[in-house]
């Protein structure tokens, strides 16, 4: 059932992340470390990679490795575009190279998780 809605989930997550990345969120909850925003970036982009892998793994012509690579490319490119847009379009947000690093570390962690995760045979659409 989750695979049936994989594209809707991926697009919904990406849309929500776009919105949250470009609006003024005010003060984020303090989790007790000075780099808490980087943790939020790491988690958001790890989840993004997972939801896009969930979708790409349903495509008939993609094996596991190609599905991972496509999910990684989508997530990395999206993260770089969002950082550019934060600097270009918003007055309350700014582009930050350290955010890109945190994003990409989240993407890498998710890709490694998926790579080493046992594979179940799933009907492809």
Model pLDDT for residues 22-38, shown as the tens digit of each residue = 887 666 666 565 567 88
The predicted model gives 98-124 an average pLDDT of 87
In the chain, what are the domain boundaries?
A: 3-24+36-116
Contact criterion met (CB below 8 Å) for 78 and 29:
no
Strand, coil or helix: what is 64? helix
Q: Please, which residues have CB within 8 angstroms of residue 21's CB and are 6 or more apart in sequence?
A: 82, 85, 86, 93
Q: Is the pTM of this model over 0.75?
A: yes
- Rounded Cα gap, residues 78 and 40, in angstroms: 16
CA–CA separation, 35 vs 105, rounded Å?
14
CA-CA distance, 3 to 117, in Å (whole number)?
17
């Amino acid at each position: 059932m989750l695979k049936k809605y994989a594209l809707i989930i991926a697009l919904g997550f990406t849309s929500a992340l776009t919105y949250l990345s470009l609006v003024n969120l005010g003060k984020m909850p303090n989790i007790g470390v000075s780099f808490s925003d980087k943790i939020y970036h790491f988690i958001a982009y790890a989840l993004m990679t997972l939801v896009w892998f969930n979708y790409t793994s349903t495509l008939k012509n993609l094996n596991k490795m190609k599905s991972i690579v496509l999910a990684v490319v989508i997530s990395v490119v999206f993260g770089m575009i969002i950082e550019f847009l934060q600097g270009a379009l918003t007055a309350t947000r700014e582009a930050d190279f350290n955010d890109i690093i945190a994003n990409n570390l989240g993407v890498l962690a998710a890709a490694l998780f998926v790579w080493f995760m046992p594979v179940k045979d799933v009907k492809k659409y």
